[in-house]
Amino acid sequence: MSDTAHEDDAAEAVQQPTTAETIDPPPKPLSLEEEAVAVLRANDRETHTIPAANLYPHQWLWDSCFVAIGLRHIDIDRAQTELTSLIEGQWADGMMPNIIFSEAPEYRRDRNFWRSWVNPNSPDGVATSGITQPPMLAEAVWQVGQKLNLAERRSWYKLMLPHIVSYHEWLYADRDPHDEGLILLVHPWETGLDNTPAWTHELHEHLMPSWISFIRWAHLDTVIGFFRRDRHYIPPGQRLSTLETLSYFDAQRRLRRKGYNTLKILDHGLFSIEDLTYNSIFIRANTRLREIAKTIRHELPEELIANIEKSEKALQGLYDPYARTFWSRDFITHRLLKQPSIASLMPLYAGVVTKDQAEHIVKQLENEHVFGPAFPVPSVPLDSRDFDPDRYWQGPSWVNTNWLIIEGLKQYGFTHHAQALTDSTLEMVRNSGMAEYFDPNTGEPLGARDFSWTAALTVDLLRS
């Protein structure tokens, strides 16, 4: 081949675009916020956001609250819709259900399983569950309000306040039958932290139905486990055990049989626990409710104010001065349920503990053998016998509980700790994506992928 031929080839190469040049340049990698927003868009169902495709196809109460807290930065109208859509599911007595079911025909089984219509207070034409979830609504409404101008904020608060008031009044009327100022829960799903140790211990030690004990005795749970729906999506080691799952469904059926009527349930029910995480969130929600009422110069009912003040004091009834720790408590016997879990950090978020108690909580957070692994905060401390880095609420780190702790730290002036936890949370998500939960030692993603509250709170943490 002559030199000229080479030169011709070279000239052609210059004139003709190469294949590489005709292809679009590789897309710019998404920023963390763009990645989070894409997840929220994918899970958007117009009026609400599902937690994740496949595994969670309905609307969940506290999930939507966290989603609204993130959405307020990018689309305030959509954030408001996320919360007003929850009102569609509110019961006539004020109860806010933990699930509002999709109307799609393929989910008939889920709706029938709950049969919310057995209770006359359930809303017409909307299928819901018959139990509640952590009362994050007042916080979410308040946070969304912070992004509105004063006039808009006032109308937003006016719209939402009656629903928050009736929800909180229902909690006192229905779930505090002895006027203690503490709310009792009747099912572990109400905690939002389904298999948190205080509840699983109660189940295994006192409350396991006999037919499930038989399954345990006969080792049939492995076989039954193969029929679990969640197994299609998530490895079983990352979810509740089969025995716990069966027991929770059994407990749900009992509640349904009592028409979701708390007094009847307390006579015959399985669980009745004054849950620490729930009550901490409720105390903070009451504070937010008072701020909302103040902004619109609305007088809250006297009885409600008296109850709110009672709750703030009642939290100290869950304090164990010897262990210097707060615990959940059995409603009937008042026995403190001393199984270590992330709940013991939640009084920081409640905002009503002493400075000394707050400092002790922060020490636990700093301790690398307790709550301070590489990717905190583990849902069960590392030194607990129950700790399992992969299993749902029994060890993994979750972005929503981190968010609550960050808020608590800020509230007590621990700004450096709050920043450090914000940074490690964002690093975990940057490395592993918008997973449902994470291995606290390695930061590896666990559970569902493209999970809505992880995405929404990532946006909030980036913007705060």
**Interface contacts to ligand GLC, rule CB under 6 A:** 51, 56, 60, 62-63, 192, 194
DSSP state of 188: G
Picking from 36, 90, 39, the residue whose alpha carbon sits closest to that of residue 61 is 90
- Nearest C-alpha neighbor of 353 from the set 323, 381, 317, 322: 317
What is the closest distance, in whole angstroms, from the C-beta atom of residue 51 to ligand GLC in the complex?
Answer: 3
Name which of 35 and 63 has its Cβ closer to ligand GLC.
63
Q: Tally helices (H) and strands (E) across the chain.
A: 20, 9
For ligand GLC, the closer CB: 166 or 394: 394
Which two three-digit tokens encode residue 143? Answer: 């946070």
In which order are the strands placed within the sheet that holds 273-274? 273-274, 328-330, 336-337
Please enumerate in sequence order all residues whose Cβ is within 8 A of that of 107, keeping only pairs 6 or more positions apart, or say none.
Answer: 57, 58, 101
| C-beta of residue 77 within 8 angstroms of C-beta of residue 148 | no
Closer Cβ to ligand GLC, 63 or 174, answer by number: 63
Nearer to ligand GLC, 372 or 445 (CB): 445
CB of 281 to ligand GLC, least distance (A): 12
Q: How far is the CB of 60 from ligand GLC (least distance, A)?
A: 4
* Residue placing its CB nearer to ligand GLC in the complex, 145 or 188: 188
**CA 97, 99, 101: angle at the middle one, nearest 5?**
125
- Nearer to ligand GLC by C-beta: 44 or 312? 44
165 CA to centre of own chain: 21
CB of 300 to ligand GLC, least distance (A): 28
What is the rounded distance in angstroms from the CA atom of residue 367 to the CA atom of residue 417? Answer: 12
| CA pair distance 127, 441, nearest whole angstrom | 40
Residue 188 or 381: which CB sits closer to ligand GLC? 188
CA–CA distances in Å: residue 436 to residues 7, 301, 420: 59, 39, 21
Q: Are 365 and 417 in contact (CB under 8 A)?
A: yes
CA torsion sign for 271, 277, 279, 282 is negative
CA geometry: angle 38, 70, 147, nearest 5 deg: 130
Q: What is Dmax (Cα atoms) for the chain?
A: 101
> Nearest distance from residue 102's CB to ligand GLC, in Å?
13
Q: Measured from the CB of residue 193, what is the shortest distance to ligand GLC in angstroms?
A: 6
Q: Which residue is nearest to ligand GLC (CB)?
A: 51
Q: Taking the complex as a whole, how short is the minimal distance between the CB of residue 282 and ligand GLC, in angstroms?
A: 16
Nearer to ligand GLC among residue 56 and residue 327 (C-beta): 56
Region class of 16: left (phi > 0), else alpha (psi between -120 and 50), else beta: beta
User: How many alpha carbons lie under 13 Å from residue 96 in its C-beta half-sphere?
Assistant: 27
- Output the smallest distance, CB 394 to ligand GLC, in A: 11
Residue whose CB is less far from ligand GLC, 43 or 307: 43
Q: Smallest distance from the beta carbon of 150 to ligand GLC, in angstroms?
A: 33
Q: Measured from the CB atom, is 245 or 307 closer to ligand GLC?
A: 245
Q: How near is the Cβ of 203 to ligand GLC at its closest, in Å?
A: 15
Least distance (Å) between residue 361 CB and ligand GLC: 22
Question: Which is nearer to ligand GLC, 60 or 387 (by Cβ)?
Answer: 60
C-alpha to C-alpha distances, 24 to 29, 258, 274, nearest whole angstrom: 14, 62, 59
- For 160, counting Cβ atoms within 10 Å of its Cβ (0-12 exposed, 13-18 middle, 19+ buried), the class is buried
